Amino acid sequence: MSQPEVRPCGDDLVLSLRNITKTYNTGELAVPVLKGISFDIYRGQFVGILGTSGSGKSTMLNILGMLDVPTGGDYTLEGIQVGSLADRDQATIRNQKIGFVFQSFNLFNYLTIEQNIEVPMIYNRVPRRKRRERALELAKIVGLGHRLGHRPNQLSGGECQRVAVARSLSNEPAFLLADEPTGNLDEKTGNEIMKLFHTLNRERRMTIVMVTHNPMFEPHYDKVIRLRDGRLEAGGLGQ
């Protein structure tokens, strides 16, 4: 799969981490998990986070997604110092700027596909008509324009993940975060979901940060961040 190199320039800096550390305190024991992580991600990059189990991938993704706070270091997202924001502002930025795709889809079974896609837009106070238009547009992009009125339990796993991808795009985020998005899918369906991410990245210039154990996906990435015991592995992504 040949890919054009994404050439970063200053204005296109989406996020940067500087010397990020994370230590969990469990009783008397301090567990250092991230030990000084620094990297930049630019608009349009498809970044893979790789590393053995327990190396800190999900911890780092949770910090990038503002679902967890680092113990030390600086996180800047589109020029905003995340650490200096009040909790409420963090929640707003998280909803507006970050799209999440999880291994387990995390859809609401009592809502239709259209309503599931609309949820982040409701939090973002998007008017109803605009929400509907956008939900339809996104459902079409992921190939589910004809299933808007169905509920998640009427869909296959791969289709559910497509809905989750559509939902993640609803507020036109600065980047998508995906933690093992194909982990619950069979190989063929997982490859189809990966193809969808690839298309979003190449055709819509969506910035994507993905954790996956699947080495077959490596050719899709512009950059690879390899974590080893809480540090960037030599040969992994620097700046």
Ligand X SMILES: Nc1ncnc2c1ncn2[C@@H]1O[C@H](COP(=O)(O)OP(=O)(O)OP(=O)(O)O)[C@@H](O)[C@H]1O
Tokens of 14: 């989406």
| Phi, psi dihedrals of residue 83, rounded to the nearest 5° | -65, -20
Q: Report the alpha-carbon distance of residue 230 to residue 24 in Å, rounded.
A: 12
Element (H, E) at 26: strand 13-26
Segment contacting ligand X by CB under 6 A, of 49-57, 113-121, 182-190, 215-223: 49-57
Q: Choose the contact partner of 212 out of ligand X, Mg ion, none; CB within 5 to 8 A by kind.
A: none
**Which residues have CB under 8 Å from 103's CB, separation 6+?**
179, 180, 181, 183, 184
Least Cα distance to 148 among 173, 181, 197, 111 occurs for 111
| Minimum CB distance to ligand X, residue 185 (Å) | 16
**CA 58, 108, 140, 193: dihedral to nearest 10 degrees?**
30
| Minimum CB distance to Mg ion, residue 225 (Å) | 14
Tokens of 156: 């296959």
51 binds ligand X (CB under 6 A): yes
58 binds Mg ion (CB under 5 A): yes
Q: Report the alpha-carbon distance of residue 23 to residue 172 in Å, rounded.
A: 32
Segment contacting Mg ion by CB under 5 A, of 51-59, 106-114, 127-135, 197-205: 51-59
The single residue among 26, 84, 153, 239 that binds ligand X, judged by CB under 6 A, is 26
Q: Choose the contact partner of 182 out of Mg ion, ligand X, none; CB within 5 to 8 A by kind.
A: none
The single residue among 59, 116, 170, 171 that binds ligand X, judged by CB under 6 A, is 59
30 binds ligand X (CB under 6 A): no
| Minimum CB distance to ligand X, residue 149 (Å) | 35
Tokens of 24: 């969990």
| Minimum CB distance to Mg ion, residue 47 (Å) | 16
The single residue among 15, 17, 20, 57 that binds ligand X, judged by CB under 6 A, is 57
Cβ closer to ligand X: 204 or 213?
A: 213
Contact 38, 225 (CB under 8 A): no
Radius of gyration of the chain (CA): 18
Segment contacting ligand X by CB under 6 A, of 4-12, 47-55, 184-192, 196-204: 47-55
Binding site for Mg ion (CB under 5 A): 58
